């Protein structure tokens, strides 16, 4: 189970913007390592909580995704959500990352891209464009990594209907998936396995993730709403609907 950080790392050097609509920045922290950090924005007021929560859930079901952390920015007296900067990243822009995906040389590309799609459908992540993947050199092999859950709402039921990729094809997630997976072929079994893992995730694991989110990132009632959503059958209903469409080939 995810353990809360007892002693927070803090920002030592601000190394500038890394681009993107949510103002992500590259920093060097007190442990001498570099991280990408994000804060809430006017347009995405729960960015920190959403990013931390969904990255944690992704890791819990074995998705290739970064580990979320909490880092303190003492100059503004705020805590930020952070992920380690991947030093072995291949491709620095949307276009470069797309080209890497389209080479057909990503290790088990069909399997992992299909797993990411299934997870995005479940959490209602409508913004999976090529820039929200990483291609990483992992011991000489190219592997795909899913990053950035900034635009995902905490409760998938609260996603706007025209942005829910589970039902709306005109989202970045649904529009780009057929293109990036084409060199490999989709893997329906891998997508189904991810949905099964989400179904089997213990309520206690979700409670532990929610408790790890700093108090000023999420209200008490919202924390309880999320715990209830996972435990009271809403999770199962969403998974069943997605599984049905998956079986019909809708998403492929």
Within 69-214, residue ranges assigned H as helices are 94-102, 109-123, 172-181, 188-200, 203-212
Residue 2: predicted pLDDT? 53
Distance CA 104, CA 183 (A): 5
pLDDT score of 201: 96
**Residue finishing a domain among 84, 102, 137:** 84
Instruction: Find the CATH number of the domain harbouring 211.
Output: 1.10.1070
H or E segment at 53? helix 47-60
* CA end-to-end span of the chain: 34
Task: Indicate if 80 and 106 belong to the same structural domain.
Answer: no
Question: How many Å apart are CA 133 and CA 176, to the nearest integer?
Answer: 11
100 and 27 in a common domain? no
Query: What pLDDT sits at residue 96?
Result: 93
**Secondary structure (3-state) at 177:** helix
Domain total in the chain:
2
Tokens standing for residue 51: 């990013």
Which of residues 84, 119, 137 is at a domain's end? 84
pLDDT for 2-51, tens place per residue? Answer: 555 668 999 999 999 998 888 899 999 999 999 999 999 999 999 999 99
166 & 100 share domain: yes
The token pair at 108 is: 């088990």
DSSP state of 140: T
Do the beta carbons of residue 109 and residue 184 sit within 8 Å?
A: yes
The whole-number average pLDDT for the span 95-112 is 95
234-247 vs 188-200: helix crossing angle, rounded to 10: 170
**Which of 84, 107, 141 is at the close of a domain?**
84
Confidence (pTM): 0.94
The residue behind tokens 């931390």 is 52
Structure tokens at 153: 């709402």
Q: What range does the domain containing 231 cover?
A: 89-247
**In this structure, which long-range contacts are made by residues 221-228, counting pairs with CB atoms below 8 Å and at least 24 apart in sequence?**
222/46, 222/49, 222/154, 225/155, 226/53, 226/154, 226/155, 227/203
For the beta carbon of residue 11, count every other beta carbon within 10 angstroms.
21
Asked if residues 131 and 20 have their Cβ atoms less than 8 Å apart, the reply is yes
Residue-wise pLDDT for 67-85, tens only, equals: 999 999 999 999 999 999 9
CB 159 within 8 Å of CB 153: yes
Same domain assignment for residues 169 and 73: no
Task: Convert the pLDDT of each residue in 142-201 to its tens digit.
Answer: 999 999 999 999 999 999 999 999 999 999 999 999 999 999 999 999 999 999 999 999
CATH of the domain at 39: 3.30.200
69 & 99 share domain:
no
Indicate if 148 and 43 belong to the same structural domain.
no
């Amino acid at each position: 189970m995810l353990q809360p950080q007892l002693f927070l790392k803090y920002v030592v050097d601000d190394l500038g913007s890394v681009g993107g609509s949510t103002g992500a920045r590259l920093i060097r922290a007190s442990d001498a390592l570099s991280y990408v950090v994000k804060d809430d924005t006017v347009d995405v007021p729960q960015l920190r909580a959403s990013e931390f929560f969904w990255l944690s859930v992704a890791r819990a079901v074995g998705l290739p995704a970064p580990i979320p952390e909490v880092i303190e920015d003492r100059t503004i007296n705020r805590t930020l959500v952070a992920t380690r900067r991947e030093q072995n990243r291949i491709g620095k822009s949307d276009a470069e990352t797309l080209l890497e995906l389209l080479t057909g040389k990503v290790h088990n590309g069909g399997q992992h891209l299909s797993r990411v799609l299934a997870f995005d459908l479940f959490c209602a992540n409508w913004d999976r464009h090529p820039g929200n993947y990483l291609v990483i050199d992992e011991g000489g092999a190219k592997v795909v990594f899913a990053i950035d859950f900034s635009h995902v709402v905490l409760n998938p039921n609260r996603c706007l209907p025209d942005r829910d990729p589970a039902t709306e094809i005109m989202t970045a997630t649904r529009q780009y998936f057929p293109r990036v997976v084409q060199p490999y072929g989709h893997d329906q079994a891998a997508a189904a396995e991810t949905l099964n893992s989400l179904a089997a995730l213990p309520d206690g694991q979700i409670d532990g993730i929610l408790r790890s989110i700093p108090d000023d990132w999420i209200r008490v009632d919202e924390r309880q709403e999320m715990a209830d959503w996972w435990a009271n059958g809403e999770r199962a209903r969403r998974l069943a609907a997605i599984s049905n469409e998956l079986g019909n080939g809708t998403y492929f």
